[in-house]
Chain A
Amino acid sequence: MITSRTEVVVGRVLLLLALALTLLPLLNMASAALQPAEVNPRGLSWPSDPQWGNFVTAFETGHVWRLMGSSLLIVLGVVPAALLIATLAGYALGSLRVRGGGAVLLFLVLGLTIPFEALIIPLYYQAEALGTLNTRWAVILPLIGLFMPFSVFWMRAHFVNVPPELSEAARVDGAGLWQEFRRIQLPLATPALSALAILLFLWTWNQFLLPVVLIDDPLNRTAAGALTFFQGQYSLSIPLLNAGALIVITPVIIVFLIFQRQFVKALLQGAVKS
């Protein structure tokens, strides 16, 4: 590839600038979090005497273990169930190519464009009617439904690309549908499934509107939904608010850093196909 020297230099400078702009707000949060808790912090400067204790304070008074536990429960309620039923549906649409599948797909995909705000009010009264209001189920059940359009679409995209000869070979060997599914399809689907799992984890963990409206106790919400609790509890102190917010976002950053390669790769595949 032929690239001129100035292009390389200009390019690198621009890129570095973009990286700096991306990291700045996060670093700024960290510097604010380390200022003495009882003052309004100022500017960008790294504190001369970093108050690491702020994180401990935010952790303890923010009931962070309970928050994380609650988020985890919601994630455990949403992700495995959504993965399972999306895989079944994706297999039916992608591999079995059931009749009427195209219509089902369109019906599902239209759901991708429904803003959560258009549903939040009915979801509230639905949860009330089901008796799930103010429990984690009020968030778990709708999220499974709301994630279906993307998840089914995603898994279908995977199954569509599995060569039909594979399953036909299995059937010739006398394997039933279930055996074929478990022995042939599932292993092949692992990369798509794990990427979807990570995506659903992030979307659930970061979900804000549903938990704020549907669960009254902030400590029973998702981590992101509990950020308003931090705002209420700590807005007396901008440093503690920032410390709390950083604690809440750490798990997603860790998950992202660990799985980023599969994650980005898979995300791109899925997005482009759709």
Chain B
Amino acid sequence: MAFSDGRRRSGRSSVVAVVAAGLALAACAPGGDESSSAPRDDVEVSTELTSDEVTLTIADETGFPLTDELAAEFTRQHPNITFDINRDTFQNLTANAPRLLASDSPPDLIRLPTIGDTARDGLLADLDPYYEAYGWDTWSESQLAPLRMDEDGVRGSGPLYQLGLGYSVTGIFMNLDIAEELGIDGPPETLAELEENLATAQENGVLPIVAGDKDGVVNFVVQAAMNQYADKDEFLSWMFNEPGAAYNTPENVRGAELIREWADAGYFSEDINSLDYFAFVTEFSEGGGLFTFNGNWEAANYQEALGDDVAFFLVPPENEGDGHVAMGAANSFAVAANSPHIDEIAHFLDWVHTDPAARQIVVDVTGASPGGDPSLPLPETEPGSLAESALEMAARISEEDGQVDFMANTTAGIYAGSIIPESQLLVTSQITGQEFADRVQAFYESEVGDR
């Protein structure tokens, strides 16, 4: 660059001035003050829907049209309420959520997979007043517990901050066409049987597990293995960030070691770390392998692609007759504390759980269980369809009390910061199961530790 030398000194002094100004600035603290949100005892709750013209805003992730259809149906029933729905990729949405909520015009309702610090920072509306006003106490408490968080940032109890637009259940999809060729005549009943099936597929040149891990989705498989060994409540206490909870328990390590064995045996594809979620979903739809671990939300897609040649079932327990444990979670949405339309949004949320048309939409669009009062009639599904299996699985899991949250929901940063990269190393045999669990725990402590 062609600055003449004589001028360089004054230039340098201006740089020094800038740095000095920066340091002076550094002395005062950024951010909000110490006061957190005011208690909401004094809130007046109305269950009566307004007759004013109201536009509710929703921030949702791309690729999941459920909110579009629910909003359309709600507007059909209540024409004075319209919706404005913004979508972004899951990754961007989760990264932006706290700041969206803190902005002057937050979305009224937002897809929020992890509560994180948002509740403690006073960004989320406490839904307990509505819980009482609408009588949500008849709903399955095990479904609502993960949506609560106490003032220490521990989930499982405390105020209700989220509700689900559908409650998911995960399991294994099996390509029946391939299974028949391999002489596999039905879903495995135990983990050992599952492993036999995997080996059979491998020996016959069929990819045993269709999975992708570019975006971490192989953790459906990793956690499925851990679930079968782990003490459910202990595992949940970690996901709920209870003080002293640990991830690297012997049981979890055993699950992770099983995945390492599967990786060593070649049960995953070689390019697993370059396949994103959609690539492996398409791969399974095209008959790319015997099993895939996924949730009810793909049931309709797989049914359409594979017709009757596909089955959906819960991950089998270690020993025959043991209860099933499966990841399941609310397709969780939270209400912004600053929303001027909390009453209307709460009415909408209640409607999604109770209105027959809404419940039918939830099932038709996502295959997920609509939640709500278990005594309400279940929406109709086609007999013998995957959607029917999915509802039965959800019912069975709640009967056996076997639902656990996704470990990706443990903290806001743990999925991208630790679980994804470490699982990429695990499923390509770069680290042991013990190392996997230890490293995730170390990251967890660094993120949660300073509470």
Q: Do A and B come from one complex?
A: yes
A interface with B by C-beta (< 8 Å)? 38-40, 100, 102-103, 105-107, 109-110, 124-125, 128, 131, 133-134, 212-213, 216-218, 228-229, 231-233, 235-238, 273-274
CB distance B283 to A40 under 8 Å? yes
CB distance B61 to A232 under 8 Å? yes
Which residues of chain A have C-beta atoms less than 8 A from B40's C-beta?
none
CB distance A232 to B63 under 8 Å? yes
CB distance A232 to B62 under 8 Å? yes
Closest to B96 in A: A216
CB distance B3 to A106 under 8 Å? yes
A-B pairs, 9 with minimum CB distance: A102-B7, A106-B11, A232-B62, A232-B89, A235-B278, A103-B10, A103-B11, A217-B86, A236-B278
Given A103-B7, A107-B15, A125-B30, check contact A236 B281 (CB 8 Å): yes
Closest to B64 in A: A232
CB distance A128 to B103 under 8 Å? yes
Closest to B8 in A: A106
CB distance B103 to A133 under 8 Å? yes
Contacts A40-B279, A134-B100, A218-B92 known; list 11 others, CB within 8 Å.
A38-B285, A38-B305, A103-B7, A106-B12, A107-B14, A107-B18, A212-B92, A213-B96, A229-B87, A235-B278, A236-B63
A166 to B13, CA, bound (A): 35
Within 8 A of A (CB), among B13-72: 13-15, 18, 30, 59, 61-63
CB distance A233 to B62 under 8 Å? yes
CB distance A216 to B282 under 8 Å? no
CB distance B7 to A124 under 8 Å? no
Given A216-B59, A228-B89, A236-B63, check contact A124 B99 (CB 8 Å): yes
CB distance A105 to B282 under 8 Å? no
CB distance B103 to A134 under 8 Å? yes
CB distance A110 to B88 under 8 Å? no
B83 within 8 Å of A (CB atoms): no
A236 to B286, CA, bound (A): 13
Which residues of chain A have C-beta atoms less than 8 A from B136's C-beta?
none
Per-position contact with A for B81-110: 1 when CB-CB < 8 Å, else 0? 000001111111000100110111000000
A106 to B86, CA, bound (A): 43
Nearest CB in chain A: distance from B399 CB, A: 33
Which residues of chain B have C-beta atoms less than 8 A from A103's C-beta?
7, 10-11, 13-14
The dominant DSSP class at the B interface is helix
Nearest CB in chain A: distance from B112 CB, A: 14
Closest to B282 in A: A40
A228 to B30, CA, bound (A): 31
Which residues of chain B have C-beta atoms less than 8 A from A105's C-beta?
3, 7, 11
CB distance A218 to B87 under 8 Å? yes
The dominant DSSP class at the A interface is helix
Which residues of chain B have C-beta atoms less than 8 A from A213's C-beta?
96
Nearest CB in chain A: distance from B306 CB, A: 12
A128 to B31, CA, bound (A): 11
A91 to B4, CA, bound (A): 18
Which residues of chain B have C-beta atoms less than 8 A from A106's C-beta?
3, 7-8, 11-12, 14-15
A216 to B100, CA, bound (A): 8
A218 to B96, CA, bound (A): 12
Closest to B12 in A: A106
CB distance A128 to B99 under 8 Å? yes
Give the interface centre of B2, B99, B276, B279 by most chain A CB atoms within 10 Å. B99
A235 to B1, CA, bound (A): 44
Which residues of chain A have C-beta atoms less than 8 A from B103's C-beta?
128, 133-134
A236 to B88, CA, bound (A): 15
CB distance A102 to B11 under 8 Å? yes
A133 to B102, CA, bound (A): 11
B277 within 8 Å of A (CB atoms): yes
Nearest CB in chain B: distance from A13 CB, A: 33
Which residues of chain A have C-beta atoms less than 8 A from B8's C-beta?
102, 106
Which residues of chain A have C-beta atoms less than 8 A from B6's C-beta?
102
CB distance B279 to A235 under 8 Å? yes
Nearest CB in chain A: distance from B272 CB, A: 14
Per-position contact with A for B319-353: 1 when CB-CB < 8 Å, else 0? 00000000000000000000000000000000000
Nearest CB in chain B: distance from A273 CB, A: 7
CB distance A100 to B10 under 8 Å? yes
Within 8 A of A (CB), among B101-158: 102-104
Which residues of chain B have C-beta atoms less than 8 A from A212's C-beta?
92
A and B contact pairs by CB, cutoff 8 A, 26 listed: A38-B305, A39-B286, A40-B279, A40-B283, A102-B7, A102-B10, A103-B14, A106-B12, A125-B30, A128-B99, A216-B88, A218-B62, A218-B92, A228-B88, A228-B91, A229-B62, A229-B87, A232-B63, A232-B87, A232-B88, A232-B89, A233-B62, A235-B276, A236-B278, A236-B281, A274-B2
Q: Which of A100, A229, A237 contacts B88 (CB 8 A)?
A: A229
Which residues of chain B have C-beta atoms less than 8 A from A38's C-beta?
282, 285, 305
Nearest CB in chain A: distance from B437 CB, A: 30
